[in-house]
Amino acid sequence: MRKILIACRTGYDRDYAASTLLEVFQRDMKAAVLPLEYEEGWASDRMEAVRRFDHRSDRRYDIERPLRAYGVKNFTWLVGLSPEETEKRIKESDILCLFGEDASECMERIEDLGLYETIRNYDGILIVLSAAARILEDTFETGEDRDRRTISGLGILSAVHLLLHYDESEEAVGKMIRMLERDGQPILVLSEQSAVYLEEGRLELLGGAFIADENDLDELYSLL
């Protein structure tokens, strides 16, 4: 039974999410972590990835910390492995954590590794952090104005968009308005201290997360 957790940051062990997630994570679960924010291919690049996410790195600690707070202790970092071994480790895991700061690069990495169907059909707990969460959509846009491109995502979240790192600024409100005006699809809006949890069609907004749709446009215009 697929479960999905979307968050901007790694604070999902805090009070705003803990009451829900304490019942989701179990101590005996095996977690696989797949960074999607670096290029891989040459041997030297793979070795750099291993060094970047070794057991002493701050980034590794930051990613593991909230899961360890829930009692999860078994981690496998999917760096420096062949696509075949990466897929095998994912299928053996109970939790798969994806992260990256460029959604288009995240999709490129998934396609390079041949993991599109594996991730799309993953039936464990899928955790997706920061900009990487946009790959869950049917399509997402990158760039601005003339450089804007529409990219196909995994299609796990259908007929909805994500707006991440929302801070109530004029720029963020304007972006939300443009998204709603463009195709009218609802938007899951996440601030730094929020998350969204989905389980078999049930959606739970945690912390400051909320949903915006076309009915909110007048109110959003008034904020500018």
What the block records as the tokens of 147 is 């450089």
Give residues with Cβ within 8 angstroms of 31, minimum separation 6.
64, 67, 72, 74, 75, 76, 93, 94, 95, 96, 97
For the ranges 79-83, 169-173, 192-196, 207-211, which has the lowest average pLDDT?
A: 79-83
Confidence at 203, pLDDT banded by 50, 70, 90:
very high
Cross-strand bridge partners of residue 210: 189
In the chain, % of residues over pLDDT 90: 78
Q: Is the pLDDT of residue 57 over 90?
A: no
Q: Is the pLDDT of residue 46 over 60?
A: no
In the chain, % of residues over pLDDT 70: 89
Give residues with Cβ within 8 angstroms of 88, minimum separation 6.
none
User: Region 179-205: what's the mean pLDDT?
Assistant: 94
DSSP state at residue 215: G
Confidence at 224, pLDDT banded by 50, 70, 90:
confident
Confidence at 23, pLDDT banded by 50, 70, 90:
very high
According to the model, what pLDDT value does residue 45 have?
55
According to the model, what pLDDT value does residue 142 have?
80
pTM summary value: 0.91
Of 88 and 52, the one with more pLDDT: 88
> Could you report the per-residue pLDDT of 122-139, keeping only the tens digit for each?
999 999 999 999 999 999
Do the Cβ atoms of 98 and 77 come closer than 8 Å?
A: no
Do the Cβ atoms of 172 and 223 come closer than 8 Å?
A: no
According to the model, what pLDDT value does residue 43 have?
43
According to the model, what pLDDT value does residue 148 have?
76
According to the model, what pLDDT value does residue 41 have?
46
| Burial classification of residue 161, based on how many CB atoms lie within 10 Å of its CB (0-12 exposed, 13-18 middle, 19 or more buried) | buried
